[in-house]
Amino acid sequence: MKPTATDKTDKPAHFIRKIIADDVAAGLAEVRTRFPPEPNGYLHIGHAKSICLNFSMAEEFGGKCNLRFDDTNPEKEEDEFIEAIKRDVEWLGFKWDGEVRFASDYFDQLYEWAVYLIKQGKAYVCHLSAEETREYRGTLTEPGKDSPYRNRSVDENLALFEQMRRGELPEGTCVLRAKIDMAAPNINLRDPTMYRIRHATHHQTGDKWKIYPTYDYAHGQSDAIEGITHSICTLEFEDHRPLYEWFLNNLPVPSKPRQYEFARLNLTYTVLSKRKLKQLVDEKYVTGWDDPRMPTLSGLRRRGYTPASIRAFCEMIGVTRSPGMVDIGLLEFAIRDDLDKHAPRAMCVLSPLKVTITNYDENVVEYFTAPLHPQKPEMGTRELPFCREIYIDRKDFREVPEKDFKRLVLGQEVRLRNAYVIRANEVVRDEKGEIVELKCTYDPETRGKNPPDGRKVKGVIHWVSARHCLDVEVRLYDRLFTVEAPEEDKTKSFLEFINPNSLVVLEHCKAEPSLANATPEIRYQFEREGYFCADSKDSKPGQLVFNRTVSLRDSYGK
């Protein structure tokens, strides 16, 4: 088989890779990157892009990648998210260097450095209210003006900051600000907040702190402490880079990391912002963060996506600074490509129609040995029982066929996959006229070979033995939204574009008996239908529930 997405080894030359390669060529001893999520939600496919980038750059250049939780805001963060994030990173197949780190590990050092800046006359305690601060900051087109507290003495600032630290001041009373330039064209430089008062219990540090550093004050210094060489983040932090560098240049930090930005991932027919995903969960549009329709890693995992397919996808989309919208079809290609090569085949009839083979002995059961993979005999085989009564899919039968229909037609023949050729002779209806059964005959000369008289049978359909099959539930998923860009229309909420048919539950589907051993880890191809796996939450032995990961590519009817 030719090499495809999941096992190709050639690396595209994106700009981050080039920057690092140049640094290494120039003598950089060890590359160190980091993946720094805030533990305030679950990871999604957009985070996978960042994870793959950070970990693979470290790996490729013989360096290390840290996992650091950016936990500077105790109000939004939870332990549950920390555990979920660790699980997702590991699931993707990456190993972070050493222990998990937390920005909160550095709160003592960060505090000392804040005192240092105060002593240098480069930070001050400001008593402007949040609203006043906004007014003093100016606008995009007008410069800001200095806070009346900007020129407090070092001693006064020191005393006030100490009071803040001790928790003697209520939330919102004041903040610590860096003294930079209120007229800077870059708003991030207009005396940004470094510390705010929060009388909250922190998931890592408990009640030790009453003041918490902001992202801007904590991030670069945390990178410096960890010896990060390349601090890779998304484009919206581009404007923060001068501030990131300002802190590093004005503090006695142990190293000088450099920040580089790339475009975050946008995917068609979904949303990729934590806020909106949280809303889908909180307002019960989905069953949870791991709902198989969610673009979260836990949702994709439950849906049946493999880590390899997600890594291949991230490799295919590239890394650039131009913000784009990737077609979700590419993600679907990635999982089909992986699963086609690795998934064992099975037969499952989604919409059963009973077929009686009238010339087949009622007391006989035959077993056919079928390969688990048509191109990979080494994967082994499974046994398919065959008897007088079987099920086929209603979609595979027509009394009067449309043009190009090559399945079972009344009066004509079709091949039963891995079994005999049958001919449909009679349709049985119920009192309402609904077709409830087909009476067919089989050709005993067609087991494992074509009809000896040379007649051609064009179609092949799947089937299961009615006496031996399993009754299972199958869940079909479709795109969560009906439009490519649900966030594009600023006059409407993305919720208005939710696809009402994103989940279709099929009960009493008929699966071949070998599927009795299905577990969520085994992804199957249900031949002629798609890729499926047992649901990790709702499937139980004897009561199987399958999720459709993705359908097979289908050129019929296009």
Residues with catalytic roles? 38, 264, 274
The residue (of 188 and 287) whose beta carbon lies closer to RNA is: 188
What is the largest distance, in Å, between two alpha-carbon atoms of the chain? 104
* Cβ-based neighbours of 302, under 8 Å, separated by 6 or more: 290, 291, 292, 520, 535, 536, 537, 547
Residue 232 belongs to what H/E stretch? strand 230-234
CA distance 296 to 290: 7
Return the closest-CA partner of residue 222 out of 190, 200, 251, 197: 251
| Three-state SS at 138 | coil
Q: In the 8-state DSSP scheme, what is residue 267?
A: B
- Measured from the CB of residue 422, what is the shortest distance to RNA in angstroms? 12
| Three-state SS at 373 | coil
DSSP string of 211-241, one letter each residue: EEE-HHHHHHHHHHHHT-SEEEEEGGGGGGH
Q: In the 8-state DSSP scheme, what is residue 98?
A: S
Residue 110 belongs to what H/E stretch? helix 107-119
Q: In the beta sheet, which residues pair with residue 481?
A: 498
CA distance 465 to 355: 10
- Measured from the CB of residue 10, what is the shortest distance to RNA in angstroms? 9
CA distance 258 to 248: 10
- Measured from the CB of residue 538, what is the shortest distance to RNA in angstroms? 26
Return the closest-CA partner of residue 178 out of 199, 200, 132, 147: 147
- Measured from the CB of residue 180, what is the shortest distance to RNA in angstroms? 13
- Measured from the CB of residue 314, what is the shortest distance to RNA in angstroms? 10
- Token pair in block for residue 431: 């009192």
Residue 73 belongs to what H/E stretch? none
The residue (of 23 and 327) whose beta carbon lies closer to RNA is: 327
- Measured from the CB of residue 241, what is the shortest distance to RNA in angstroms? 8
The residue (of 81 and 212) whose beta carbon lies closer to RNA is: 212
